[in-house]
């Protein structure tokens, strides 16, 4: 596919995201996503994040395989999760589950700084190289266990978890700033998960709201020596 057709496919994808946002308003509480989030979705070249042989399908509104049994998230899901975080241009964001780095790039368009943790070393290395090549110098990638968060860099204005734990990891709640927001899919493997929006108020109290039913890969602890 040449650049012109990729552009066309990307524009069609944005329209699909708008329709899906309207369709899911009762779950998410939002009939449309912010202009800033939609501009980020329009700008990030998803075809640079999928395997080369999958380039022609880069703008299909579906998750796609990226190797190691992992996937690149569905574009609508990337958009809704980013929107629910209500990011400002000064925010520092923690992502758990860098994968190919696509969600991190979208976050990097709307926040000041993105810290992303990936448990599979080879994916972390590839994401780091790809984000650098694309000029995302406000993203740092850590190869490590997301259950621990990234304490040296916290606390964070927002946290986004893109694999599903069975319970919200306590370290992540600790690393969320008062006034901060977290989106996290929670549920057991092979069961429908629920995407939660957790808001920590100024006094540190948590308010948790259920949004969409979702299907993420499981969040798994890091095995020592594993690659
Ligand atoms: N954010 C990605 C989606 C990645 S899929 C995107 O933009 O498309 C989920 C990722 O979470 C996988 O790469 C998986 O390896 C990773 N993951 C699973 N358990 C993890 C853990 N404990 N810590 C960090 N990453 C984890």
Tell which atom from ligand 1 comes closest to the C-alpha of 63.
8
pLDDT in tens, 13-39: 999 999 999 999 999 999 999 999 999
The mean pLDDT value of the chain amounts to 96
pLDDT in tens, 38-83: 999 999 999 999 999 999 999 999 999 999 999 999 999 999 999 9
**How far, CA to CA in Å, does 133 sit from each of 48, 126, 127, 139?**
10, 11, 10, 12
Whether 163 is a known active-site residue: answer: no
**pLDDT value, residue 176:** 98
**pLDDT value, residue 189:** 81
Closest listed residue to residue 164, CA positions, set 186, 138, 133? 186
Set 73, 88, 122, 143: catalytic member: 73
Residue ranges around ligand 1 (CB below 6 Å):
70-73, 96-100, 102-103, 117-120, 123, 145-147, 162-163, 217, 219-221
Distance CA 153, CA 151 (A): 5
Residue 225 pLDDT > 70, yes or no? no
Residue 226 pLDDT > 90, yes or no? no
Distance CA 28, CA 84 (A): 8
Ligand 1 centre from 119 Cα, in Å? 7
* Confidence band, pLDDT 50/70/90 cuts, at residue 2: confident
How many CA atoms lie within 13 Å of 113's alpha carbon, on the beta-carbon side? 9
Residue 147 pLDDT > 60, yes or no? yes
């Amino acid at each position: 596919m040449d650049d012109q057709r990729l552009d066309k496919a990307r524009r069609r994808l944005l329209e699909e995201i708008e329709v899906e946002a309207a369709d899911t308003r009762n779950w998410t509480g939002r009939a449309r996503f912010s202009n800033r989030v939609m501009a980020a979705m329009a700008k990030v070249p998803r075809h640079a994040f999928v395997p080369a042989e999958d380039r022609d399908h880069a703008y299909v509104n579906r998750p796609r395989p990226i190797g190691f049994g992992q996937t690149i998230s569905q574009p609508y899901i990337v958009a809704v999760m980013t929107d629910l975080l209500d990011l400002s241009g000064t925010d520092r964001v923690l992502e758990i589950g860098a994968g190919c780095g696509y969600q991190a790039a979208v976050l990097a368009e709307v926040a000041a700084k993105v810290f992303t943790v990936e448990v599979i070393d080879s994916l972390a290395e590839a994401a780091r190289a790809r984000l650098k090549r694309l000029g995302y110098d406000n993203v740092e990638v850590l190869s490590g266990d997301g259950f621990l968060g990234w304490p040296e860099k916290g606390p964070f204005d927002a946290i986004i978890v893109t694999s599903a734990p069975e319970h919200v990891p306590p370290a992540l709640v600790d690393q969320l700033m008062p006034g901060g927001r977290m989106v996290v899919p929670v549920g057991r493997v092979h069961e429908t998960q629920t995407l939660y929006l957790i808001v920590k108020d100024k006094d540190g109290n948590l308010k948790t709201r259920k949004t969409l039913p979702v299907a993420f890969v499981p969040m798994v602890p890091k095995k020592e020596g594993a690659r």
